[in-house]
Amino acid sequence: MLILGIDTAFSMSSIALVNNGKILSELQAYRKMAQLVWLTPTLQDFLKRNEAKWEDIKGVAVTSGPGSYTGSRLAVVTARSIAQVLDVPVAPINTLECMIKGVPFIEGLLCPLIDARKGEIFTALYYNNERVSEYMVLKPEELLTILNEKNEKVYLFGDGIETYENVIAQGLKTKFQILPPFYYYSRASVAAQMGEKMIASGRGKPYYEVNIFYSRPVQITIKR
């Protein structure tokens, strides 16, 4: 089944087409603060260039957060709108889970880091690529305390590395390895592969049941 994947949880945004687990096409673009004007026209052109029609799409997979609140909300709203018009299910994919599925199998402790702004990180702990903790939003120093208590090698990746690499290097007392930047972001192709399995097993959702996943209350500042 042809699945459209949408991911704007990070400044590195992507869209993809997947069919029967195979990635047919994926487009990635660095669009910091410009995802709104990029996504809709790019989707139209993306389908045209891949000789696909809207009516060919049987489901939409979308990274629903955590990540950039604005970016995640844009992706979810877009996915909901497409699904409503086409009358197809949506597969909301947690961004941390999408990141984990995008890395090779690693035996041991993995920790994806998403920059949550305000001096915090979105994260969870994984052993052998399987989650073993709650989703967390916490300060880097708090995470380092948890990892130091584990006292075992940890594999780190995500855009939080770019912001807190010095803090990590100075505060992490156990062995660690930072994965290559290729793994810092979730990808629409991975989300689409995950979403195809969800939809095929009947776990897709109607558009009106899909919402952004956010680990803390939204704070909106109104400038006067």
CATH number for the domain that contains residue 197: 3.30.420.40
> How many angstroms separate the CA atoms of 150 and 19, rounded?
40
In this structure, the answer to whether residues 131 and 77 fall within a common structural domain is no
- Distance from the Cα of residue 160 to its chain's centroid: 13
Helix (H) or strand (E) holding 38, with range, is: helix 35-49
Residue 222 lies in a domain: no
Q: Are 47 and 39 in contact (CB under 8 A)?
A: no
pLDDT at 220: 37
**Alpha helix stretches (DSSP H) within 114-185:** 140-150, 160-171
In this structure, the answer to whether residues 130 and 69 fall within a common structural domain is no
In this structure, the answer to whether residues 155 and 191 fall within a common structural domain is no
| Ranges of residues in the chain whose predicted pLDDT is under 70 | 32-33, 215-224
In this structure, the answer to whether residues 173 and 137 fall within a common structural domain is yes
Q: What angle do CA 212, 41, 102 make, to 5 degrees?
A: 50
CA gyration radius, the chain: 18
pLDDT at 221: 39
Buried b (16+ CB within 10 A) or exposed e, 54-89: eeebbbbbbbbbbbbbebbbbbbebbbebbeebebb
Structural domain including 144 reads 103-183
pLDDT at 151: 92
In this structure, the answer to whether residues 197 and 133 fall within a common structural domain is no
Look at the chain and report how many structural domains it folds into. 2
> How many angstroms separate the CA atoms of 74 and 59, rounded?
18
The secondary structure of residue 131, as a DSSP letter, is E
In this structure, the answer to whether residues 135 and 190 fall within a common structural domain is no
pLDDT digit string, tens, across residues 151-176: 999 999 999 999 999 999 999 999 99
Residues 6+ apart with CB under 8 A from 28: 12, 13, 14, 187
> How many angstroms separate the CA atoms of 75 and 91, rounded?
12
